[in-house]
A and B are shown apart, each in its own frame.
Chain A
Amino acid sequence: MSLFLQTIICGILLGAMYALIAIGMTLIMGVMKIINLAHGALVMVGMYITYFCFKEWGIDPYLGMFISMPILFFIGCIIQKYLINRLVEVDSILPENQVLLTVGIMLVLTETMRLIFKSDYRSVATSYSSSTFFLGDISISIPMTIGFLIAMIFTWLLHLFLTRTDLGRSIRATAQDRDAAIYMGVNAPRITVITFGIGSALAAAGGSLLLPLFYLWPDIGHLFTAKAFIITILGGMGSTMGALFGGLTLGIAESLGATYISMGYKDVVGLIIFLLVLLFLPGGFKSLTRR
């Protein structure tokens, strides 16, 4: 029984951090309907900024997050404004050529970081990195718990932002029907720029939360891109709450898979859930709440 509980708790804590990364992607996919393969690379850049702040100035990763988030917001805005939006205006046979642009951006970001920081593996060892507390004989990691709480707070704040502010409502309107939103006087290109910025900033936040317990090297982005996709589809594009539930589901599914099937097959469990949701619940968890 304690093995089962341990597994579930690990899954929940990890899932929340997956969710935070995925929320950035779900926003971007919801508004722009494009597959952003550079998302993981943005997480990676955010992690490097946080890492740099820690190494150079001794800023704790949880505070460094507030430096990396605005920088990534800025980078995201620039990518959207000068690269992706340019392509939206062009008529092309397959809209998916935007995907390719994100592949190019991913390569450029990854290799730029490699030139600056080399390919070395880096990590941040804080005093709390591997501290734990025990509930009975179940061990709970403190940095993961902090990460979990911050992820929850961010999700909640973002939810408030999207539902209570004018800007947030404009973003949601653009996500639901871009043409109608433009008709109603929403400046859609500007909204997409801001959305990409927010999405990137959230990616940086997720990366920074993982930094104390994970590690960092330029190719780490692929890992996050794949997870974020799965969660985005699980939760339904554009839904923050959906992404949160999607993240938790994936975290728990992977943990259970690792415990009861095998560590090698744990990702298969996640992918099969992903396929099942795609087939039987194409709108993701979001569509459950609508009914």
Chain B
Amino acid sequence: MKKYLAILAVLAMVMGVTVTAGCGGGGSQQEQGAQNVVKVGVILPLTGTEAMFGTMEKNSMEMAYEELKAAGKTTVNGKEIKLIFEDDQSKQDAAKAAAEKLINQDKVAMLSGGYSSANTNVIAGTAQSKGIPFLIVTGSADKITKQGWQWVFRGAAAPSSKYTSALWDLFDKKIKPRNVAIIYENTDFGTSSAEAFRAACKARGINVVFDQGYEKGAIDFKPMLANMKKANPDVVFAVSYVMDASLIVKQMKELDFNPRLFVGGAAGYTMPEFLENAGNAAEYVASTTLWVPSVSWKGASDYFKKYKEKYGKEPDYHGAQAYATMYVIADALGRAKDFTPAGIQKALKETDLMTIMGPIKFEDWEGYTNQDKPTTYVVQWQKGKLEVVWPEEAASGKLVFPVPKWSERK
């Protein structure tokens, strides 16, 4: 009897999904709804390995939405903007299904979201072939905006090879390294950042004395670090995820390995979790970044404070990207003459908005399409705080270089 019930239950569920999917959750209701709302589909990882970032971005978008609502900016042309969040489970199958569902079933006016590069690729491909505007939040693989895809926009996120613009400026003007070491995690973001950095080194005649990728989630980096210590680089450039980043600097301290400067390539090295886990080993670690709370753009520190108050946790640049993206969406929809894909595409293309990530415009340059020219910074952990040290006009602190040896610190 139990078995019979179990089978029935399972079959009923399968029937259920087919029916709901087939009818689109009640077509009449949908058409009625379409009269007074304009739907924006947002695909973010809310479960799975990337869920931490997806959740932070969802929270930030909702926070921005509430602010916009209070200012009366969520009602555009008599219609209310409605966000529909979909979970991509940090898997690309699910990302594809979510995009299909949002476009075909929910009939969204535009798409946003995309955390990992893999999932962003898939969503962008779907949006492009369907002719629906897609505004990327984080996904940073270079190739996404290098396909000439007219429907894909990247505003708050930089292509991964451009994360280091400010860093190279700093290197050229001040540090002038001769030998560098590159380590990176074996992911899309890691390998493309390393590739761009390697090419930039070659162009300047800088020796790359050590160059290795690693699988994320390793416990012990000491063999790699000991090897790197032997190569004796001036500067280490590392692209790592959150916790790998903290393990790497902690274990550098344990090995008493003293490069003149250690620079992270965004991602892990600017997060609050990094400081928490690395403790005093985080001191003087520099990193490139797209955003810090202390940046001078209007609203940046307010966002940081408000988020911390509301969710009890410090956001990092990922959250700021989502927050700014929400403002871009509201702005573009506010200017759109009609809510057809082409109308929204045109409005997005004409965007010129000041956000907490700086000014956002979608331009075509260096082979990119609809790509904002990012502003990047170099930051350095000083006394447990992230200080902007480059570019000089935005600096909140002074670069400590060369950094003191581990043995010379207290």
A176 within 8 A of partner (CB): no
Hey, what's the 0/1 contact readout for A117-136 against B, CB within 8 Å counting as 1? 01111110100011010100
- Inter-chain CA distance A217–B55, complex, in Å, is 14
- Inter-chain CA distance A48–B52, complex, in Å, is 16
Stretch at the interface among A158-166, A183-191, A258-266, A281-289: A258-266
- Inter-chain CA distance A120–B220, complex, in Å, is 21
Q: Are A264 and B51 in contact (CB under 8 A)?
A: no
Q: Are B243 and A255 in contact (CB under 8 A)?
A: no
A155 to chain B, nearest CB (A): 19
Q: Are B52 and A219 in contact (CB under 8 A)?
A: no
Q: Are A7 and B52 in contact (CB under 8 A)?
A: no
A139 within 8 A of partner (CB): yes
Residues of A contacting B266 with CB < 8 Å? none
With A6-B226, A125-B277, A258-B223 given, is the CB distance from A215 to B48 under 8 Å? Answer: no
- Inter-chain CA distance A220–B242, complex, in Å, is 14
Contacts of B182-241 to chain A: CB distance below 8 A: 183, 186, 212-215, 217-224, 226-227, 230
Q: Which residue of B lies closest to A263 (CB)?
A: B214
B246 within 8 A of partner (CB): yes
Q: What's the tally of chain B residues with a CB closer than 8 Å to chain A?
A: 39
Q: Are B215 and A267 in contact (CB under 8 A)?
A: yes
Contacts of B40-64 to chain A: CB distance below 8 A: 47-49, 51-52, 55
A141 within 8 A of partner (CB): yes
With A120-B52, A121-B243 given, is the CB distance from A7 to B223 under 8 Å? Answer: yes
B312 to chain A, nearest CB (A): 11
- Inter-chain CA distance A215–B212, complex, in Å, is 23
Q: Are B224 and A119 in contact (CB under 8 A)?
A: no
- Inter-chain CA distance A132–B407, complex, in Å, is 12
B273 within 8 A of partner (CB): yes
With most chain B CB atoms within 10 A of its CB, the pick from A11, A118, A119 is A119
Q: Which residue of A lies closest to B277 (CB)?
A: A123
B299 within 8 A of partner (CB): no
Q: Are A114 and B51 in contact (CB under 8 A)?
A: yes
A223 within 8 A of partner (CB): yes
Q: Are A264 and B226 in contact (CB under 8 A)?
A: no
Hey, what's the 0/1 contact readout for A91-134 against B, CB within 8 Å counting as 1? 00000000000000000000100100011111101000110101
Among A118, A130, A223, contact of B254 (Cβ-Cβ < 8 Å): A130
Q: Are B226 and A3 in contact (CB under 8 A)?
A: yes
Residues of A contacting B405 with CB < 8 Å? none
Q: Are A259 and B214 in contact (CB under 8 A)?
A: no
B247 within 8 A of partner (CB): yes
Q: Are A3 and B230 in contact (CB under 8 A)?
A: yes
Among A3, A130, A264, contact of B279 (Cβ-Cβ < 8 Å): A130
Q: Are B220 and A264 in contact (CB under 8 A)?
A: no
Residues of A contacting B243 with CB < 8 Å? 121, 123, 215, 217
Contacts of A247-280 to chain B: CB distance below 8 A: 254-256, 258-259, 262-264, 266-267
With A114-B47, A118-B55, A121-B242 given, is the CB distance from A14 to B212 under 8 Å? Answer: no
A238 to chain B, nearest CB (A): 26
Q: Are A130 and B276 in contact (CB under 8 A)?
A: no
Q: Are A263 and B221 in contact (CB under 8 A)?
A: yes
- Inter-chain CA distance A267–B213, complex, in Å, is 13
- Inter-chain CA distance A115–B253, complex, in Å, is 35
A261 to chain B, nearest CB (A): 10
Q: Which residue of B lies closest to A2 (CB)?
A: B226
B281 within 8 A of partner (CB): yes
Q: Which residue of B lies closest to A217 (CB)?
A: B52
Q: Are A3 and B213 in contact (CB under 8 A)?
A: no
- Inter-chain CA distance A10–B223, complex, in Å, is 7
With A3-B230, A111-B47, A215-B243 given, is the CB distance from A119 to B220 under 8 Å? Answer: no
B308 to chain A, nearest CB (A): 14
Hey, what's the 0/1 contact readout for A166-180 against B, CB within 8 Å counting as 1? 000000000000000
Residues of B contacting A130 with CB < 8 Å? 250-251, 253-254, 279, 281
A119-B55, A130-B254 known, 6 other contacts, Cβ within 8 Å: A6-B226, A114-B47, A123-B273, A141-B254, A214-B247, A263-B223
Seen from chain B, the residues whose Cβ lies within 8 Å of a Cβ on chain A are: 47-49, 51-52, 55, 183, 186, 212-215, 217-224, 226-227, 230, 242-243, 246-247, 250-251, 253-256, 273, 276-277, 279, 281, 313
Q: Provide 19 A-B residue pairs closer than 8 Å at the C-beta atoms, listed in order of the A residue.
A: A3-B227, A14-B220, A119-B52, A121-B52, A121-B242, A122-B273, A130-B251, A132-B254, A139-B222, A141-B254, A213-B219, A213-B247, A214-B247, A255-B222, A258-B220, A263-B213, A264-B186, A264-B215, A267-B215
Instruction: Rank and list the top 9 A-B pairs by shortest CB-CB distance, nearest first.
Output: A119-B51, A263-B214, A258-B223, A123-B277, A119-B52, A259-B223, A215-B243, A263-B224, A132-B254
